[in-house]
Amino acid sequence: MTIEEVQQAIIADFSVYEDWMDKYTYLIELGNELVPIDAAYKVDQNLIRGCQSRVWLQQKMEGDLLIFEAESDALIVKGLVALLMKVFSGRTPQEILDAEPYFIDEIGLRQHLSPTRSNGLMAMVKQIKLYALAYKQILSQKK
């Protein structure tokens, strides 16, 4: 699935739930399903700043694709992280740079998860884009 398709799928998934409590239940489910990242990566340097819960983000390149792994000690945040992974992990740096995670707005998450809420969702998107930019430059130098 392309980033676009994944976002549409997420929006469709969430459209089922009217009550926010159900959306949260779903997020918690997603969080529970997220593969935990290796304990070795749960280090301070992988922590995303500005989160009330701890969020670790780890990345690597496989071929042309940027692979992210992430985790949080809060389950709702972990669910959000899982969504971001679906959208952004396993893409080329250029794909990542070109994508706007508009699904956040569409499923009504932004209002519930604004930057001032300090859950760091935005901080995480920013960090993902920074990695993408860095790898893009590395790749272009290789060529």
Partner 1 sequence: MTFNYKDIRKDFPILDQKVNNRPWIYFDNAATSQRPLVVVEKIHEFSLQTNANIHRGTHFHAIKTTEAYENARDIVKEFLHAKEREEIIFTHGTTESINLVARSFCERFLSEGDEIIVTEMEHHANIVPWQMACERHHAKLKVLPFADNGNLETDLLESLISSRTKILAIAHVSNTLGTVNPIKEIIRIAHNHNIPVLVDGAQSVPHITIDVQDLDCDFFAFSGHKIYGPTGIGVLYGKRAWLDKMPPFLGGGEMIDKVTFEKTTFNELPHKFEAGTPHYVGAIGLGSAIEYIRKIGLENIAAYEHQLLTYASDKMKELGGMKFFGESPNKTGVICFQLDQIHPFDLGTLLDQLGIAVRTGRLCADPVMDHYEVTAMTRASFSFYNTMEEIDRFIDSLIRIQKMF
Query: Which residue has tokens 């932004």?
Result: 110
Least spacing, CB of residue 19 vs partner 1, in Å:
9
Least spacing, CB of residue 114 vs partner 1, in Å:
6
> Would residue 51 show up in a list of annotated catalytic residues for this protein?
yes
Query: Which residue has tokens 């960090």?
Result: 127
- Beta carbon nearer to partner 1, 53 or 92: 53
Residues within the interface to partner 1 (CB under 8 A): 20-21, 24-25, 28, 49, 52-54, 73-77, 112, 114, 116-119
- Beta carbon nearer to partner 1, 99 or 122: 122
CB 3 within 8 A of CB 65: no
CB 67 within 8 A of CB 100: no
Which of 51, 80, 99, 109 is flagged as catalytic? 51
Reference 7, options 114, 123, 131, 96; nearest CA is 96
Least spacing, CB of residue 34 vs partner 1, in Å:
14
Least spacing, CB of residue 77 vs partner 1, in Å:
7
Which 8-state DSSP code applies to residue 91?
Answer: B
- Beta carbon nearer to partner 1, 21 or 39: 21
What is the sign, positive or negative, of the torsion defined by CA atoms of 107, 112, 114, 119? Answer: negative
- Beta carbon nearer to partner 1, 92 or 118: 118
> What tokens does 44 get?
């301070």
**CA of 77: how far to CAs of 62, 109, 125, 133, 137, in Å?**
26, 12, 13, 25, 30
Residue positions annotated with a catalytic role: 51
